[in-house]
Chain A
Amino acid sequence: MTQTSTSDVTPDTAETQPTGTEPTETVMETVVNIGPSHPSTHGVCRVVVHLDGEVITHCEPIIGHLHRGIEKMAENRTYLQVVPLTDRLDYVGSMYANWAYCRAVERLAGIRVPERAEYIRVIVCELQRIASHMMGIGSTGADTGAFTAFMYTFAQREKVVELFELLCGARLTYNYVRPGGVSRDLPDGWVEQCRAFTAQHPSAMLEIDDLLLGNVIARARLKGVGVLTQVDAVAWGTSGPIARGSGVDWDLRRDDPYSVYPRFDFSVPLGDNGDSYDRARVRVWECVESCRIINQALDQLEPGSVQAEGLPRLLAPRPGDAYDHIESARGSLGVYLVSDGSPRLYRMKVRSPAFCNLAVLPLLAKGHTLSDLVVILGSLDPVFGEVDR
């Protein structure tokens, strides 16, 4: 808050001074509503922004505009019927929620997944990471006025979507990963098509990196905007590219290995400054690393079954609870399930990375201008299906 020179309050107390109590000397605070339908909020988020001139003094994201009650709906469905609901949680990366849920069910019911199914899950989820990051990087470009980059990233995303379409017939809501494996085996010629994709993707990423993040305007808009320190990143419970952009070396694929990830050689890209630029940069390099993982997984892929044998059609795990988490494109995605021994879930709780990442928005936006808020929100890459559930 800017105080006028005649004011004798110290800057510290001026910060805590409530607006309006100060006579004429205080600059009038403007409250601006952004959303819930706004092209730059990446979904239905409403942000109430308190402005001093053009500088944000405080902002508050108001969520719940897409609250569909998925966790409550899951209580009325059998274990298999919940899988399509998890598709609609994080609709930019449906495979992740599928997988996190299925892992929790498998842990709860003690199901052993065939190795080929695990490899296919890794492949589709790394492809999904690419598809999701393409959206994140592209919208960073759109927010900074570089709409052309969005076209380039979306062309890459369409290629991934095409691969998924061959796999399960759907472009967006796949319902592919099921408890005990995956719904069907890879179709003929899919592996070759996937290899063709991973062969051209890293060079396309370099082009996009050069086009967007090498651009002087985008650098000016992104660098130093929305700095999240390493301490804050840990304290606020962020994960995924948001935490790694701030230099927090934390990736569940490596630090809490699940599935067949220990068999792959990959590195975890980290940022230095924790600004919007580093977050976008981390996403770019994660895509290249994902290509490496996919190539290794395709090499190690052996023929075999893709569904666990002897799985009952109606799962009814013994009473108990289970939690499992995976590294989604947005961070640590966890699913907690409670069973009471009946064929229906007793309770499902989703630990949503997008929700935790969005919480740092007021922290990051403070002191920046209103136009930077758009960039900061875009760099957090929230998906409101997952935030609101």
Chain B
Amino acid sequence: MAFVDDLGAALDKTPGGGIILTSLDALIDWSRGKSLWMMPMGTACCAMELIAASFARFDFDRHGSIPRPDPRHTDVMVVAGTITRKMEPAVKRLWEQMPEPKWCIAMGNCAVSGGIFYYDTYSVVRGVDEFLPVDVYISGCPPRPEALQDAILRLREKVSAESIVPSRAKPVKSILPQPGDPRKGDIAAEGGEPS
């Protein structure tokens, strides 16, 4: 993407280039967001729901999310299932084989934090974010296919806020209160605490 990066930087400096840049961003984000091909990294139980999601009843193809087993064809890695210490290098290697830009969805409690296998076991990685930059987390053991659908739509929101010039990227709203997030106070107030 070196050409696009250079183009973006050049447009950003040119007077009036912002109009072209934002139009270009809109086009690129639209095309990226509408064809998020999935790398189904299904290891355990969640893989069954991942399969169910792409089949007739839930039909993910209509979102443009087609599962492709080849990492070089894909944009988003869906880590569905428990990642063990033995599996970790393989997942990392597949992630490195995916071309930029790429995103990651942690599907299910095992991929989020180790889930039910957090305690008492010696072989499970406690969350795939130990070695991958996760964009969207889905809780559930396993999550329903609708939850994966929601994750794809949320990821699309995130993709649509990106710009080819990194400084122009819009901030993405997180549904969780972040440290220093002004909404944090609102949530505390809603909880019935007299302020």
Contacts and interface: CB of A to CB of B under 8 A. Distances in A.
B69 to A, nearest CB: 4
A65 B116 contact: no
B107 to A, nearest CB: 13
Contacts of B56: 151, 154-155, 158
A385 B120 contact: no
B50 to A, nearest CB: 11
A314 B44 CA distance: 30
B66 interface: no
A202 interface: no
A187 interface: no
B69 A173 contact: no
B84 interface: yes
A68 B117 CA distance: 7
Interface stretch (B13-21, B86-94, B131-139, B174-182): B86-94
A154 B144 contact: no
Interface stretch (A83-91, A305-313, A315-323, A362-370): A83-91
Contacts of B122: 69, 72
Interface in A50-69: 64-69
A172 B120 contact: no
Given A73-B121, A171-B49, A67 B90 contact: no
Nearest to A158: B57
Contact of A154 (B45, B55, B142): B55
B27 interface: no
Interface stretch (A35-43, A269-277, A284-292): A35-43
Contacts of A158: 52, 55-57
A44 interface: yes
Interface residues of A, number: 35
A157 B57 CA distance: 11
For chain B, which range describes its interface: under 10, 10 to 19, 20 to 34, or 35 or more residues? 20 to 34
A76 interface: yes
A92 B44 contact: no
B116 A84 contact: yes
Contacts of A135: 48
Nearest to A161: B52
Interface string A72-109: 11001100000011001001100000000000000000
A68 B142 contact: no
Contacts of A91: 44-45, 48
Nearest to A388: B84
B148 interface: no
B140 to A, nearest CB: 10
B123 interface: yes
B94 A64 contact: no
B84 A68 contact: yes
Contacts of B47: 43
A157 B58 CA distance: 13
22 contacts: A36-B87, A37-B41, A39-B69, A64-B86, A65-B43, A67-B84, A70-B121, A73-B117, A76-B119, A85-B116, A88-B44, A88-B45, A88-B116, A91-B44, A150-B55, A154-B56, A155-B55, A155-B56, A158-B55, A161-B52, A171-B52, A171-B144
Given A67-B84, A155-B55, 12 more contacts: A64-B84, A72-B122, A73-B121, A85-B116, A88-B44, A88-B116, A91-B48, A135-B48, A155-B57, A158-B55, A172-B49, A385-B44
Interface of B: 41, 43-45, 47-49, 51-52, 55-57, 69, 81-82, 84, 86-87, 90-91, 94, 116-117, 119-124, 141-142, 144
